[in-house]
Structure 1
Amino acid sequence: MKGLSEQFGVDERDFSWKLWMLLPIYPFGRRRTIRREVVKDTIWTFEQVQGIFYVVVPIRMTVVKLQAGGLLVYAPVAPTPECIRLLKELVQKHGDVRYIILPTISGLEHKVFVGPFARKFPQAEVFVAPNQWSFPLNLPLSWLGFPSGRTHILPEDSSQTPFADELDYAILGPIPLGPGTFEEVAFFHRRSHTLLVTDSVVSIPETPPEIVQLDPYPLLFHARDTLSDQVEDSKANRRKGWQRISLFAFYFRPSAVETIPLGQAARDARHAPDRSRKAYFGLFPFKWKKDWLRSFEALRGDGRLLVAPILQTLILNRAPQETLDWAYHVATWDFQRIVPCHFDAPIQASPQQFRQAFTFLEQQPAIPEGASGSFSLPEEDFALLKEIDESLSKRRIVPPPKGKV
């Protein structure tokens, strides 16, 4: 297949991310960026992709125009030449980048970009979620690449920030997780009625997002049913691959897939039609069940708001009351749309729908079962996550989960 430069005269250096070794996951040193306008002349998203073993999903930063002048950047992505060029087009029209926000403490896929991104905009102030940590050594922020002298901790009281007239925020956490902690900061932009979140809620599109389709290889890789399949590049196969990728991303090992032992998969790889490095040397340790689509449909629902099963099983159940208190507080804001850092965006959703997404933490949900937005996921798909949860708790690596509230 011809490269982009050969097909369209595109300079692939525009997509270069030279510091990819800081987080060596797909697509490594080559990242495309798509900019979208969410609210006219007010909010834009910048999307890239990331993943492991071709389980690729969007990662997104959001840019907000401030009435006071300039721009605020929430959760930076890789500052490739293409990304910075697209952002500077907004700078020319709306003013400099004034604030850069890191809204999480445990998401390395967000944290790793902040220092390099901030160096592209030396006039911007950097605000980070409190209780930052690093592993295996808990190092000062300046040692982690954050610019000294202009990096600040977000105060507990959101009214104490220089952008308080336009944005409010609420901090979830810190939630202790043994060697580290989880924390997320949701931002509310009052003028546009927009809620910005990192990982807390998502919505899954039925078809692959545009950013994922710029390079369809991962989609077609996972559209295969067997090692020997030669999959045609079609809309149906791209959709099939995306839906399976979504199941992997949320469950690691959904009940709809059987994993082939590594030794057997390695022996089978000798007969693969493509044994190139791009195809992982023919390794394909998956066997999908015929009814796999039912798992995806149960996960996606009708595109409703969802708390990812990983968060449900391994993180938020360590602090159910704190999480519900946070969700109640966020639901007091008058937002009309939500922009998460992953999967679909923007999501047209109300505060009530946001609150409904967290009923899994309640013994007797405040929202009656069966109400719009209230649902439960198939227990069988949680099998691996629960095994991980039990193992971590048994070994006292993380504190045990708490009961429902």
Structure 2
Amino acid sequence: MADDQSTKKPKQINQQDFSWPLWLILPLYPYGQRRTIREEVVKDTIWTFDQMQGIFYVVVPIRMTVVKLAEEGLLVYAPVAPTPECLRMVEELVAKHGDVKYIILPTISGIEHKVFVAPFAKNFPTAQVFVAPGQWSFPLNLPLSWLGLPAKRTHILPSDCRNTPFAKEFDYEILGPIQLGLGKFAEVAFFHRRSHTLLVTDAVVSVSADPLDIVQLDPYPLLFHAKDSASDMVADHPTNRRKGWQRISLFALYFRPSVLSVPQWAEVFRQATKAPNRSQKAYFGLYPFQWDVHWQNSFEILSGEGRLFVAPILQTLILNRAPRETIDWAEKVANWNFQRIIPCHFDSPIPSKPTEFRQAFSFLEKHPTSERYLLPEEDLQLLRDIDQGLKKTRIVPPPQEKV
């Protein structure tokens, strides 16, 4: 994989390049300032654009993928915030490979993806926008044009991928929509035949032991979560960045892994008075986390041997509502001969075979063929409890039996 080093280390930093004025629509850290890193995954064919976002400094990458079309032009999968820096990087590809022809919104429930499509499309007025079927909004289910998508050039992805203008180069399979009571879930996996590359949104992820480059551009969240107590002064060096990243990953994927406990708030406030930094940026010294001494074991299980897995929230709250449909979708995707997977979060690209992708969904089976892809039940406990609560209140349909 070749890197665009010039995009990682600009000679001059202009804060206006990172400006994202619409951040109030989705107020996630780093709010109105978003950096972008572009990397070339397949030479002159595929590029990823990474940005960062999160809550309470639990920051994870969010990724857009751009694919060069065989004849001319570009296809954009899951746009990110079109900051001046990001747009400049896209325009560099446009100048060399042709206009952005197609923009794909491959999900219906991920607001962190949906929110960027309309402003991104506005910058490429000739691009056709294709969205996953079953789009919805809350609290009112509004027409797509009311959400800012260009009415005359926005289309619903047809169930048969052969009925699209990019069918010569791409296959896709639609999962869902899966009914979730007040909402729905769907994802569209794209397969670029020429480069043997699979594009997914949230379906599968892989987590490396070291923080990705985009997260290291702003190390403060990494160092914040590297603390063991509110009174810690954490130096900025690779070991602490790595420690913070691994804890962030456990937070982001499990919400509360078994190796994490939350002290009584009286104790949290007492410890905050001892914090060396009680600024607003440091949340006034509040640090309501207590990590078990063996916390790293949970991370090693999560990331070991380049593990490919389905995100825990999908396992426990969403895909278990439609196990048969999900397995059927995974088997269709596994029929493609891809060599790498580019998801919208965490590591990319992930070297992977179709059989590994299919086995990642073995948690939906009564008798899984491999336990390598199963996550520890103790770390899933909080999500299991949430699932039980939703089931009792009938907010979402109950889980279905495994297949």
Answer yes or no: same fold by TM over 0.5.
yes
Q: Which residue of 1 aligns with 2:279?
A: 276
Q: Which residue of 2 aligns with 1:146?
A: 149
Q: Which residue of 1 aligns with 2:97?
A: 94
Q: 2:250 aligns with which of 216, 238, 247?
A: 247
Q: Distance in 1 between matches of 2:278 and 2:315?
A: 38
Per the TM alignment, residue 58 of structure 1 is displaced from its structure 2 partner at its CA by 0.4
Q: Which residue of 2 aligns with 1:387?
A: 385
Q: 1:375 aligns with which of 346, 370, 373?
A: 373
SS in structure 2 opposite 1:225? Answer: coil
SS in structure 1 opposite 2:115? Answer: helix
Gaps of 5+ in 2: 1-9
Q: Distance in 1 between matches of 2:127 and 2:374?
A: 43
SS in structure 1 opposite 2:380? Answer: helix
SS in structure 1 opposite 2:305? Answer: coil
Q: Distance in 2 between matches of 1:268 and 1:403?
A: 46
Matched, 1:72 2:99: no
Q: Which residue of 1 aligns with 2:49?
A: 46
Matched, 1:19 2:17: no
Matched, 1:106 2:106: no
Q: Distance in 1 between matches of 2:190 and 2:57?
A: 31
Per the TM alignment, residue 301 of structure 1 is displaced from its structure 2 partner at its CA by 1.8
Matched, 1:344 2:347: yes
Q: Is the 8 A contact 2:259 2:291 kept in 1?
A: yes
Q: Which residue of 1 aligns with 2:269?
A: 266
Q: Distance in 2 between matches of 1:380 and 1:276?
A: 35
Give matches, 1:2-401, under 5 Å: 9-365=12-368, 368-369=369-370, 374-401=372-399
Q: Which residue of 2 aligns with 1:3?
A: none
The amino acid that maps onto 2:177 is: P
Per the TM alignment, residue 275 of structure 1 is displaced from its structure 2 partner at its CA by 1.0
Q: Distance in 1 between matches of 2:89 and 2:225?
A: 31
Q: Distance in 2 between matches of 1:107 and 1:403?
A: 26
Q: Distance in 1 between matches of 2:162 and 2:376?
A: 42
Gaps of 5+ in 1: 1-6
State, as a whole percentage, how many aligned pairs show the same letter: 69
Q: Is the 8 A contact 2:191 2:198 kept in 1?
A: yes
The amino acid that maps onto 2:392 is: K
Q: Distance in 2 between matches of 1:301 and 1:261?
A: 33
TM-score between both structures, scaled by the size of structure 1: 0.96
Q: Is the 8 A contact 2:362 2:370 kept in 1?
A: no
SS in structure 2 opposite 1:327? Answer: helix
The amino acid that maps onto 2:315 is: Q
Range moving further from structure 2, 266-275 or 89-98: 266-275
Q: Distance in 2 between matches of 1:266 and 1:150?
A: 53
Q: Which residue of 2 aligns with 1:4?
A: none
Per the TM alignment, residue 106 of structure 1 is displaced from its structure 2 partner at its CA by 0.1
Per the TM alignment, residue 270 of structure 1 is displaced from its structure 2 partner at its CA by 2.8
SS in structure 2 opposite 1:146? Answer: coil
Q: Distance in 2 between matches of 1:147 and 1:376?
A: 42
Q: Distance in 2 between matches of 1:46 and 1:219?
A: 21
SS in structure 1 opposite 2:326? Answer: helix
Q: Is the 8 A contact 2:308 2:373 kept in 1?
A: no
Per the TM alignment, residue 263 of structure 1 is displaced from its structure 2 partner at its CA by 4.5
Per the TM alignment, residue 288 of structure 1 is displaced from its structure 2 partner at its CA by 0.5
SS in structure 2 opposite 1:380? Answer: coil
TM-score between both structures, scaled by the size of structure 2: 0.96
Q: Distance in 2 between matches of 1:260 and 1:20?
A: 32
Per the TM alignment, residue 10 of structure 1 is displaced from its structure 2 partner at its CA by 1.2
CA distances 1:281-305 after superposition (whole Å, capped 9, x unpaired)? 1111001010000110111121121
Per the TM alignment, residue 261 of structure 1 is displaced from its structure 2 partner at its CA by 3.2
